């Protein structure tokens, strides 16, 4: 019972952190230069961020106080910062330097990067230096290489074509999956919707969150855009390209986790104004997951 309550408290803290970003992206900028031994107001927000994306998992408590709630730069936080820096090819000093803070403030996908038992979303399994799979390698059965997709009634019609284009690109590059658009969201394998705030899947989009979208591993099929982000078709400063995000989230729908290769579409951060396509790392991941390279 105590473990369950602690897990719920951790999840609540993480949601509160995401909500705190609604105050603006300056919430952690003042922490630049903090390192082990520091005690600065706001360090708990970095802890919650790293826990949210799979880097920090406290195994001990301090006098029955959740360590995620304090502002102490302890040994566990230093290790988590180093792990985060290594994953994103930053200088792994364990110090919150400028590049690390800047990376954390970038728009990104809501799926975690690494396995974390305190995280309630699907866990990831590291397989090679670049692409990753979800834990237990969930995938679509061989009988489901043809998948149907549908748009919910709340999805804007003007943003349908770039998602259709994204599906076509995955089909063309994998030469394994094919996709057909259908009208019924209920019967479709993949369900795309336009959501904001608490939208009923347990992973809300609080105001100001850096999360632009999230999607679930096979065979769940749900793909949610964050309607409160700035969207555009193509490259435009301070806007997110609809198709680029679709390419990334479709990768999750097919079973890919986040890649450590920045050029890959499965790199978790999607800078605003950027347009990306599929990379060989993405295709190699699908080939490995579905045994297509044998």
| Chain centroid offset of residue 78 CA | 22
Angle, alpha carbons 235-241-244 (nearest 5°): 115
Instruction: Select which of 115, 195, 249, 262 is catalytic.
Output: 249
80: nearest Cα among 106, 107, 100: 100
Rounded to whole angstroms, how far apart are CA atoms 89 and 244? 22
Q: Read off φ and ψ for residue 249, nearest 5 degrees.
A: -70, -30
Strands 124-126 and 132-134: antiparallel
Rounded to whole angstroms, how far apart are CA atoms 42 and 32? 11
Helix (H, G, I), strand (E, B) or coil at 2: helix
State yes or no: is 249 an active-site residue. Answer: yes
Query: How many Cβ atoms are within 10 Å of 105's Cβ, its own excluded?
Result: 17
Instruction: Just list the catalytic residues.
Output: 249
């Amino acid at each position: 019972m105590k473990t369950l309550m602690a897990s719920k408290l951790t999840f609540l803290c993480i949601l509160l952190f995401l909500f705190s970003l609604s105050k603006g992206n300056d919430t952690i900028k003042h922490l630049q230069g903090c390192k082990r031994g520091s005690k600065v107001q706001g360090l708990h927000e970095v802890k919650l961020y790293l826990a949210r994306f799979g880097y920090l998992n406290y195994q001990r408590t301090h006098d029955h106080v959740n360590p995620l709630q304090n502002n102490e730069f302890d040994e566990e936080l230093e290790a988590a910062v180093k792990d985060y820096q290594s994953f994103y090819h930053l200088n792994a000093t364990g110090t919150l330097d400028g590049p690390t803070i800047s990376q954390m403030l970038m728009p990104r996908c809501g799926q975690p990067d690494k396995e974390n038992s305190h995280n309630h979303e699907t866990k990831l399994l590291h397989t090679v230096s670049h692409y990753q799979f979800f834990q237990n390698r969930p995938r679509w059965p061989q009988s489901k290489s043809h998948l149907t997709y549908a748009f919910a009634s709340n999805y804007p019609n003007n943003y349908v074509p770039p998602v259709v284009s994204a599906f076509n690109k995955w089909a063309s590059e994998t030469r394994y999956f094919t996709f057909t658009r259908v009208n019924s969201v209920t019967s479709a394998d993949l369900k795309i919707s336009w959501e904001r705030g608490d939208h009923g899947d347990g992973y809300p989009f609080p105001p100001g969150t850096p999360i632009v979208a999230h999607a679930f591993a096979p065979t769940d099929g749900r793909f949610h855009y964050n309607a409160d982000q700035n969207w555009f078709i193509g490259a435009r400063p301070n806007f997110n390209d609809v198709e680029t995000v679709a390419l990334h989230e479709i990768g999750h729908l097919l079973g890919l986790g986040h890649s450590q290769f920045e050029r890959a579409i499965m790199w978790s951060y999607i800078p605003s104004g950027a347009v990306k396509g599929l990379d060989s790392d993405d295709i190699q991941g699908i080939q490995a997951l579905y045994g297509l390279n044998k």
